[in-house]
Amino acid sequence: MKIKIGICGYGNLGKGVESEISKNSDMELIAVFTRRNPVESLKISSNVPVVHVNSIAEWKNKIDVMILCGGSANDLPEQGPEIAKHFNTIDSFDNHKKILQYFKAVDNAAKLGNNISIVSIGWDPGLFSLMRMYMGAVIPTGKTYTFWGKGVSQGHSQAIRRIIGVVDAVQYTIPIDSAMEKVRNGENPNLSVREKHTRLCYVVAAEKADRSRIENEIKEMPNYFDEYDTTVIFISAEELKANHSSLPHGGNVIHIGATGSGNKQVIEFSLKLNSNPEFTSSVLLSFARAAFRLSQNGDCGAKTILDIPPALLSPHSIENLMEKLL
């Protein structure tokens, strides 16, 4: 019997989950839920029902795990707790400052519904959080550095698109190699925001727009760009589409410390992703398996990636894993 998966939200992430389910032979997609009206306006790739999210509770006994693919700003704060009342859920909530508050709201709802909800799954938060935790536990006197990129930051691209005169834009976050090398060499540098990453923006401007005004608005935008060295390059809409349509990303978590009388120890985890949303989707699916198993065992409530026994993610038996991987 396969694990029955529902997808709630059909943007890049929802499409990724749909695409990656077939890689997991113990799972099947049951339905896609959307807020669009009419639901018929949403065309999906799979041959499963598209259902309005208002009817989601009616699918309670037909779906084992609901994967919440909405955004952290507007969708999840409401959907997370609401849907956790009815389903085991997995989400990629990434609004760091509100994570504890979100966790508690989902935890209450999941306990009411006797469901498991694993929150903030993906790669950061997600696998990178997990690595930071393992690394810090193993070498407790060490220091952890996280670098992101080279990759497209959708939040920063979106921020540029809101500027008047900008037709479209793609922003790459680029780690500074020399800073990473300093870390790996054990120099324990104190790195400012500017010393860790640069930002590279490809912008399509409206025909008569003032390009120098746009460039300044980008470079001075608080929080997003003002603390970074930012490069702005104006290109045509065709060029943007041809060369900057994919969503690569990745990064490095580096932990460096010493044992004994100063023996340097370096632990590093890195991702090089040609599709950020598809990778995130793959991570969500492996945790859907864990949520299903925890729920089958009678557990309930909200969990994070730090709570989940690793073997629950794998389709293989523990004896098989011991023989093949240990």
Restricting to residues 134-163, name those near a copy of itself by CB under 8 A: 134, 136-141
**CA pseudo-torsion sign 15, 16, 18, 19:** positive
Please say which residue, 199 or 255, places its beta carbon nearer to a copy of itself. Answer: 255
Smallest separation (angstroms) from a copy of itself to the CB of 15: 9
**What are the backbone dihedrals phi and psi of residue 208, each rounded to the nearest 5 degrees, phi first?**
-105, 15
User: CB under 8 A: which stretch of 36-44, 172-180, 189-197, 273-281 binds a copy of itself?
Assistant: 273-281
User: CB under 8 A: which stretch of 36-44, 80-88, 94-102, 211-219 binds a copy of itself?
Assistant: 94-102
Q: Which residues contact 145 (CB under 8 A, 6 or more apart)?
A: 180, 183, 191, 196, 252, 253, 254, 255, 256
Please say which residue, 112 or 313, places its beta carbon nearer to a copy of itself. Answer: 313
Which of 52, 234, 273, 293 binds a copy of itself (CB under 8 A)? It is: 273
Q: DSSP characters for 187-215? A: ------HHHHEEEEEEEEEPTT--HHHHH
In angstroms, the Cα distances linking 271 to 133, 149, 151, 274, 278 are: 17, 9, 11, 10, 13
Restricting to residues 11-30, name those near a copy of itself by CB under 8 A: 16, 19-20, 23-24
Please say which residue, 225 or 269, places its beta carbon nearer to a copy of itself. Answer: 269
Per the CB < 8 A criterion, the answer to whether 117 and 301 are in contact is: yes
Smallest separation (angstroms) from a copy of itself to the CB of 290: 9
Which of 120, 153, 230, 295 binds a copy of itself (CB under 8 A)? It is: 120
Q: Which residues contact 262 (CB under 8 A, 6 or more apart)?
A: none
Q: Which residues contact 316 (CB under 8 A, 6 or more apart)?
A: 324
Restricting to residues 228-247, name those near a copy of itself by CB under 8 A: 246
**CA pseudo-torsion sign 297, 299, 302, 307:** negative
Q: Which residues contact 161 (CB under 8 A, 6 or more apart)?
A: 168, 169
Restricting to residues 277-316, name those near a copy of itself by CB under 8 A: 278-279, 281-283, 286, 289, 304-311, 313-315
Helix, strand, or coil (residue 322): helix
Q: Is 268 in the site for a copy of itself (CB under 8 A)?
A: yes
Which of 4, 85, 86, 132 binds a copy of itself (CB under 8 A)? It is: 132
Which of 28, 195, 267, 293 binds a copy of itself (CB under 8 A)? It is: 267
Smallest separation (angstroms) from a copy of itself to the CB of 19: 5
User: Measuring CA to CA, which residue among 156, 143, 99 is closest to residue 124?
Assistant: 99
Smallest separation (angstroms) from a copy of itself to the CB of 80: 15
Residues in contact with a copy of itself by CB under 8 A are 16, 19-20, 23-24, 96, 99-100, 103, 120, 125, 127, 129-130, 132-134, 136-141, 184, 246, 259-260, 263-275, 278-279, 281-283, 286, 289, 304-311, 313-315, 318-319, 321-323, 325-326
